[in-house]
Chain A
Amino acid sequence: MSMLKISVKLAFLWAVAFLFIEVNAQQLGKGISEEDLAPWDISVDPNGSRLPSGSGTAAKGAEVWADNCSACHGEKAEDGPAGALVGGVGSLTSDAPVKTVGSFWPYATTLFDYVRRAMPYHAPGSLSDDDHYAVVAYLLERNGIIDEDDVMSAKTLPKVKMPNHDGFIQYWPSKGD
């Protein structure tokens, strides 16, 4: 085999290898700034990350509730076709456990996260952040977790300790399954 043939062959092999690496190394994501993705950055962890400014109390929350939430969750959040969100404390070890925000949810931040992302069911995102805080305050107050005058905000909400905070056993990673 002549040197030319060998070098042509090597060049061909190199080109094939190069193409393969190229395909594997697609880098097609475009950079995006934190500011530009802020409207989507709505996940709130138990530390309260990404909680927005604004605030609300239970009194204001009662109004928001009546207008936006009561049809599905009941006038006082105790019943309604979508289930109770108040009551049930002490029922978890009974024959008929009632899992509500008060009896079951481990973090108050989850309540804000969920109300903001998904409620009201037919028009999520239609309420202001003040209204989100107010309706969260209303549910916490109705469950006897905060007082009527307590103001819920990015500062206060992560500090609220839920009654069932210690009621969970984390199966990942220690217990597998």
Chain B
Amino acid sequence: MTSSRLLPPSPEDHAASGGLINRRWLLRSSLAVGSLGLSTNLTRAGQLEVPEWSSKPGLGMSAYGQPSPFEDGVVRSRFDLFPEGIGDGSGVSFTPLEKLAGTITPNGLFFERHHSGIPEIDPDAHKFVIHGMVERSLLFDVESLLKYQMVSRTCFIECAGNSFFNSLGEPQQRTAGEIHGLIGNAEWTGIPLRVLLEEAGIDPRAKWLVAEGADAAKMSRSIPVEKALEGDAMIALYQNGERLRPEQGYPMRLVVPGWQGSMNVKWLRRIKVSDTPFHTKDETSKYTLLQKDGKSRQFTYQMGVKSVITFPSPGMTPAGPGLYNISGLAWSGGGRIKRVEVSADGGRSWSDAVIDAQPLPQAVTRFQQPWQWDGGPLTLMSRATDETGAVQPTREAWYEPYAADQLFHQNSIQSWSVLQDGEVRNVYA
């Protein structure tokens, strides 16, 4: 087995301080990144036993497959915004980013944000209307929408409040998912919104749409018509190949790739075409960004370029000195991820991480960085750049224009402090 072992990194293999190793070393070692973490000690493993499950037939088929019972700790973390009895069903649950691999979020673990709980919608009774500045107001049922030619698009949806814990004065000791997990990445299948607007005969003078859900909050957001007529807005009925889950908007939701999560209106029941924005509650009193000077940024739709290291991260700790694969996620509402850099010395030196060969626009990209940890304390960071040239800011730079409690569009660099015993802590560095 010695032929498949990694060559020990030599000094010129170090891409940056703190043990970050150059990609060239990987090529020289003729090993894929996924093989990292192999022990370099050839200890004797002992004779193999034949396990019980190989000695008798297993369970039968099932109607709907479930994760292994051994994976029952991989769950969303719920966070209610109000005390019990007040605003029940209004809150969030976080995707456990650090426990997942690849880039697609499983449907049962896709983050939630509800403003008045999850409506239990009977698809046969659900209606969707388009009206306002159109030639003819149209009513659709779900059955007819399912007959349209559909398109599929992989993209993320990220809550505008994602990472809000890092807006607090003191760094919160929560997992990567519990801080940054108000994001999910999925293949959405549905009808381009443009197709239905054209069927209704949209007035060329129209400038805005207001999209509204069928939930008790009747969540509503104004959306520029450009995002539908020239852009990529769609009405999604499927997520990762199956019909939307109730918590993701069953039977239909809006998907506006790269734009703030609350515009991807769930349980979509109505679109009104107008020449003016509506200034709804969730685009005035909420989801606006208060600056130090007392003015607030409104209609800040696009989610910024962002990344987070998921290994190591709090609770996902290295076990002693050795060779590890730093791994994480990067995304941008501005387009494709072009570059992710990793630092193991608190941002003094950076190494270019390996990213997916063909990152998709407005979609999550996985990055990986080989790391030889000497067991000493250090600070890990990742910094993403997208195809428009936008670079993920430091926390200090991100905060510069904003008021003390501003928490929306928090896309600053996450710093993880790795302590001598391997414990990983959230720090503001």
Contacts and interface: CB of A to CB of B under 8 A. Distances in A.
Interface residues of A, number: 52
Given A37-B129, A81-B86, A82-B86, A29 B200 contact: yes
A32 B302 contact: no
Interface string A111-146: 001100110010010000000000000000000000
A113 B149 contact: no
B298 A171 contact: yes
B285 A104 contact: yes
B148 A167 contact: no
B285 A113 contact: no
Given A28-B144, A29-B136, A29-B140, 14 more contacts: A24-B149, A27-B199, A28-B148, A29-B130, A29-B139, A31-B136, A34-B131, A37-B137, A97-B405, A104-B284, A168-B284, A171-B300, A172-B224, A177-B302
B105 interface: no
A67 interface: no
B216 to A, nearest CB: 5
Contacts of B301: 171-172, 177
Nearest to A99: B285
A114 B216 CA distance: 11
Given A44-B278, A172-B224, A34 B137 contact: yes
B272 A26 contact: no
Contacts, number: 161
Contacts of A118: 115-116, 216-218, 281
B106 to A, nearest CB: 31
Contacts of A26: 144, 147-149
A168 B295 contact: yes
Interface stretch (A7-15, A55-63, A88-96): A88-96
A130 B216 CA distance: 21
A47 B281 contact: no
Interface stretch (B286-294, B320-328, B367-375): B286-294
Give the residue among A23, A110, A124 with the most B Cβ atoms within 10 A: A110
Contacts of A28: 140, 144-145, 147-148
B83 interface: yes
Interface string B104-129: 00000000000110000000000001
Q: How large is the interface on B (under 10, 10 to 19, 20 to 34, 35 or more residues)?
A: 35 or more
Interface of B: 82-83, 86-87, 90, 115-116, 129-131, 136-140, 144-145, 147-149, 196, 199-200, 210, 212, 216-218, 220, 224, 226, 269-270, 272, 274, 276-281, 284-285, 288, 290, 292-302, 304, 403-405
Contact of A97 (B136, B137, B404): B404
A37 B131 contact: yes
Majority-rule SS of B interface residues: loop
A167 B296 contact: yes
A92 B404 CA distance: 10
A161 B277 CA distance: 18
A169 to B, nearest CB: 5
A45 interface: yes
Given A29-B139, A43-B220, A169 B295 contact: yes
B302 A113 contact: no
5 contacts: A26-B148, A29-B140, A33-B137, A105-B285, A121-B90
A165 to B, nearest CB: 11
B86 A23 contact: no
A125 to B, nearest CB: 9
Contact of B149 (A23, A167, A177): A23
A65 interface: no
Contacts of A45: 274, 276-279
Nearest to B145: A28
A107 B279 contact: yes
Contact of A43 (B130, B144, B210, B217): B210
B284 A171 contact: no
A37 B127 CA distance: 11
B219 to A, nearest CB: 8
A72 B90 CA distance: 13
